[in-house]
């Protein structure tokens, strides 16, 4: 067994996994705040990345301006989605809400294909990419940058939820809506805020992936890969989401290695997380850190 290759795979897995972690975190944010399972999470990445690409490639804006404009756009986008589509569905059964996000997902996927085509588009070169040597492993600098961005976002999340007023309001709402309301927290505003933050953070992840790998409709698959990550970590745990994302990232790469070496099935890279998902659901549906909901009769 080549240890070099293996540790390289683990490192690659961690880098991708950190991005999964960021997306999973923004997924859990929506779930915790408003009990909505968002199947359109991947489309947030997609929309954000395409908008940023459009501003940079078509309008020739410098990266920082395009990036900030994208974040501004995603803020409005998130609020509008929540207010127009999700707010009328408050109080409807879970099925309806899930289906609405599924509808949003295919709508925006198709819209993006219609507007920007089906082919992957590279971002205009922003940073010089070169190979960096980390502990004897070869890593592209762009990947390191994406890892750094993931870590920054995670740290920002941590600060937001433990120290800021709005973050605390959100946690209170997630804990008990009625009590939060009686304490003067505007629950509708918290819902809208959770969608906004989730959209913005996902867009950051989307732009990061776009800068590294180019923008394509494949980005929306991140929204699907989120499910193994969040189930592994526990649906309502932000820490779990981060860990779940990392584990899924590593698992993917290792599964691909095992597949290439021993099984020869092909495609394990994509499918392995879903086998893991079924196993977790059977053995420990609340994941590593999720709340064990016990119902007594």
Binding site for another protein (CB under 8 A): 37, 85, 88-89, 92-96, 98-100, 102-111, 113-114, 224, 227-228, 231, 235, 265-267, 270-271, 274-275, 277-278, 281-282, 285, 295, 297
Q: Of 98, 97, 72, which is closest to residue 87 (Cα–Cα)?
A: 97
Smallest distance, Å, CB 137 to another protein?
Answer: 30
In the block, residue with structure tokens 């990036």: 67
Pair of tokens at residue 258: 């095992």
* Residue placing its CB nearer to another protein in the complex, 103 or 124: 103
Cα–Cα dist 248/228, whole Å:
7
Q: Provide the terminal-to-terminal Cα distance of the chain, rounded to the nearest Å.
A: 53
Smallest distance, Å, CB 64 to another protein?
Answer: 32
Pair of tokens at residue 111: 């819209």
- The CA distances from residue 98 to 37, 82, 90, 102, 217, in Å, are 6, 13, 12, 6, 22
* Residue placing its CB nearer to another protein in the complex, 159 or 274: 274
* Residue placing its CB nearer to another protein in the complex, 119 or 274: 274
Structural contact between residues 276 and 226, judged by C-beta atoms closer than 8 angstroms: no
Q: Of 35, 21, 67, which is closest to residue 200 (Cα–Cα)?
A: 67
Element (H, E) at 162: helix 141-163
Smallest distance, Å, CB 162 to another protein?
Answer: 27
Smallest distance, Å, CB 62 to another protein?
Answer: 30
Smallest distance, Å, CB 108 to another protein?
Answer: 8
* Residue placing its CB nearer to another protein in the complex, 163 or 297: 297
Smallest distance, Å, CB 200 to another protein?
Answer: 22
* Residue placing its CB nearer to another protein in the complex, 144 or 279: 279
Cα–Cα dist 180/70, whole Å:
32
Smallest distance, Å, CB 99 to another protein?
Answer: 6
Smallest distance, Å, CB 101 to another protein?
Answer: 9
In the block, residue with structure tokens 């923008």: 215
* Residue placing its CB nearer to another protein in the complex, 50 or 143: 50
* Residue placing its CB nearer to another protein in the complex, 59 or 107: 107
Query: What DSSP character marks residue 290?
Result: S
* Residue placing its CB nearer to another protein in the complex, 181 or 270: 270
Q: How many CA atoms lie within 13 A of 70 on its CB side?
A: 31
Cα–Cα dist 233/171, whole Å:
18
Query: What DSSP character marks residue 215?
Result: B
């Amino acid at each position: 067994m080549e240890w070099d290759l293996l540790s390289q795979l683990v490192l690659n897995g961690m880098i991708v996994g950190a991005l999964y972690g960021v997306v999973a975190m923004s997924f859990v944010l929506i779930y915790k705040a408003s009990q909505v399972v968002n199947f359109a999470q991947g489309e947030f990445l997609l929309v954000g990345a395409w908008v940023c690409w459009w501003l940079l490639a078509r309008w020739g804006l410098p990266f920082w301006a395009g990036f900030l404009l994208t974040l501004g756009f995603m803020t409005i986008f998130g609020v509008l989605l929540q207010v127009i589509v999700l707010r009328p569905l408050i109080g409807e059964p879970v099925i309806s809400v899930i289906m609405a996000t599924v509808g949003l997902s295919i709508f925006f996927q198709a819209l993006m294909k219609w507007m920007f085509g089906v082919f992957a588009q590279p971002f205009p070169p922003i940073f010089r990419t070169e190979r960096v040597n980390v502990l004897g492993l070869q890593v592209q600098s762009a990947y390191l940058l994406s890892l750094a961005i993931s870590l920054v976002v995670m740290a920002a999340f941590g600060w937001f939820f433990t120290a800021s007023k709005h973050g605390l309001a959100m946690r209170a709402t997630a804990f008990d809506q009625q009590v939060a309301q009686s304490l003067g927290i505007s629950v509708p505003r918290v819902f809208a805020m959770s969608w906004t933050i989730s959209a913005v953070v996902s867009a950051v992840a989307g732009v990061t992936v776009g800068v590294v790998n180019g923008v394509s409709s494949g980005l929306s698959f991140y929204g699907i890969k989120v499910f193994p990550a969040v189930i592994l970590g526990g649906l309502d745990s932000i820490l779990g989401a981060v860990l779940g994302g990392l584990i899924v990232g590593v698992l993917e790469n290792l599964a691909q290695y095992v597949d290439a070496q021993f099984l020869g099935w092909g495609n394990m890279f994509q499918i392995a997380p879903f086998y893991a998902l079924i196993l977790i659901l059977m053995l420990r549906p609340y994941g590593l850190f999720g709340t064990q909901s016990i119902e007594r009769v």
